[in-house]
Amino acid sequence: MDDNSLAPYQQSDSSHESTNEMQSTLLKRPALLASPGSDEGRDYMGRLPTELLLKIFTFALVEDAPVYATRLRLTHVCRLWRNSIIPYAPFWGQIALRPSGSVPNRRMMTELDFERAKICPDLDVTISMEWKQFHYWMDVGETQADVIAWRIEAEHHRDYMTRALDLDVRARIRILRFGHRPFDLIHVGATQYDYFIPLERLQELYMDSDWSYSISSQTNTNQLMRKILLAGNSMQVLRLFSLLLPDAAFPTTLRKLHLTMVTIESDVYFPSVLVRLTNLEELVLSGRSHENGLVWPVSAVLRITLPRLRLLSLQPLHEIEDAHLIRQLECPDLKALHLRYDANGVVLPLLGTDRDPMPNIMRAVASQAWKLEELLVDGFPRSENLMAPFLLHQASSLRRLAIGEDLYATVRHVHGAMMLSDIEEVALRISLELMYFAIGPRALKPGETDYLYYLYCAWRPQIPSPEDLNNGQRLEIELQELLCADAMQDRDKIGPMMVQDTAMRLPCGRRVYLYTNVEDKSVTGFNRLRNERTRLAIPSALCRELYVGPPMWMK
For each of the chain's 555 residues, which pLDDT tens digit applies? 444 433 333 333 433 443 344 444 444 445 544 444 444 444 555 556 666 666 666 655 666 555 555 666 667 777 777 787 888 888 899 999 988 888 888 889 999 999 999 999 999 999 887 655 444 444 445 677 777 887 888 888 888 888 988 889 989 999 999 876 655 555 543 444 555 667 889 999 998 765 555 666 777 778 888 888 888 788 999 999 988 888 888 999 999 999 999 998 877 788 888 999 999 999 999 988 888 888 888 877 788 999 999 999 999 888 888 999 999 999 999 999 999 876 444 333 344 344 455 678 888 998 899 999 999 988 766 566 677 777 877 888 899 999 888 888 888 887 777 677 788 999 999 888 888 878 877 655 544 555 555 555 655 666 667 777 888 889 999 998 888 866 555 544 444 444 445 445 667 789 999 998 777 777 888 888 888 778 888 888 888 899 998 999 987
User: Which of 32, 54, 87 is the C-terminal boundary of a domain?
Assistant: 87
pLDDT of residue 21: 46
Domain boundary among 62, 87, 112: 87
Alpha carbon separation from 125 to 170, 179, 322 (Å, rounded): 9, 11, 37
What is the residue range of 57's domain?
46-87
CA separation for the pair 239, 34 (Å, rounded): 16
Residue 476 domain-assigned (yes or no): yes
Cα separation values, 515 from 312, 376, 436, 547, 549, Å:
22, 13, 11, 9, 5
pLDDT at 189: 38
Burial of 393 (0-12, 13-18, 19+ CB in 10 A): middle
Of 103, 99, 83, the closest CA to residue 91 belongs to 83
Q: Are 533 and 466 in contact (CB under 8 A)?
A: no
Q: Which residues pair with 244 in a beta bridge?
A: 263
DSSP state of 418: G
Last residue of a domain, one of 38, 67, 87: 87
Distance separating alpha carbons of residues 99 and 106, to the nearest angstrom: 8
Q: Please count the other Cβ atoms lying within 10 Å of the Cβ belonging to residue 259.
A: 25
Residues paired with 124 in a beta bridge: 94, 175
Give a yes or no: residue 541 inside a domain: yes
Dihedral (CA of 383, 388, 392, 398) sign? positive
**Structural domain includes residue 27:** no
Question: Is residue 145, in this structure, part of any structural domain at all?
Answer: no
- CA atoms of 448 and 84, how far apart (whole Å): 36
480, 17 contact by CB (below 8 A): no
Total structural domains in the chain?
Answer: 2
Across-strand partners of 205? Answer: 176, 238
Rounded distance, CA 515 to CA 428, Å?
Answer: 6
Is position 137 within any domain? no
Neighbours of 95 (CB within 10 A): 21
pTM of the model: 0.79
Do the domain assignments include residue 471?
yes
- Residue 177: alpha-carbon gap to chain centroid: 16
Q: Which helix (H) or strand (E) holds 126?
A: strand 123-127
Residue 513 lies in a domain: yes
Q: Say if 421 falls within a structural domain.
A: yes
